[in-house]
């Protein structure tokens, strides 16, 4: 992927930026989880497979459950099936 200035952006570039800007390991993990969530929503290979992807804290059925080690929640079925 190229940005508007023609600079090549790779996953390594993004992860290095995350490492440089993260205020803690938790912040680094949160950034990575948001990246993967967006990737699964936008990448053509995955966007057609799931009806929705949520961060754990945004999942509608989470209720009052705290951090249990779940990062992402996918909708129950794949699109097109």
Decide if 34 is inside a domain. yes
Q: Average pLDDT of the chain?
A: 86
Decide if 33 is inside a domain. yes
Return the bridge partners of 55, or none.
72
* Angle between helix 25-42 and helix 11-21 axes, rounded to 10 deg: 150
Q: Is the pTM value of this prediction over 0.85?
A: no
* Domains identified in the chain, total number: 1
Decide if 17 is inside a domain. yes
Decide if 61 is inside a domain. yes
Decide if 4 is inside a domain. no
User: 48 versus 32: which is more confidently predicted?
Assistant: 32
pLDDT at 9 over 70: yes
Reduced to 3 states, what is the DSSP secondary structure of residue 4?
coil
Boundaries of domain holding 62: 11-74
pLDDT for 24: 96
Decide if 35 is inside a domain. yes
pLDDT digits (tens, 9 = 90+) for 14-45: 999 999 999 999 999 999 999 999 999 999 88
pLDDT at 80 over 60: no
């Amino acid at each position: 992927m190229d940005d508007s200035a023609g600079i090549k952006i790779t996953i390594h570039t993004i992860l290095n930026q995350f490492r440089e800007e993260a205020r803690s390991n938790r912040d680094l993990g949160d950034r990575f989880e948001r990246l993967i969530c967006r990737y699964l929503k936008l990448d053509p290979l995955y966007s057609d497979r799931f009806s929705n992807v949520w961060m754990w804290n945004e999942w509608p059925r989470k209720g009052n459950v705290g951090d249990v080690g779940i990062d992402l929640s996918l909708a129950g079925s794949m699109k097109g099936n």
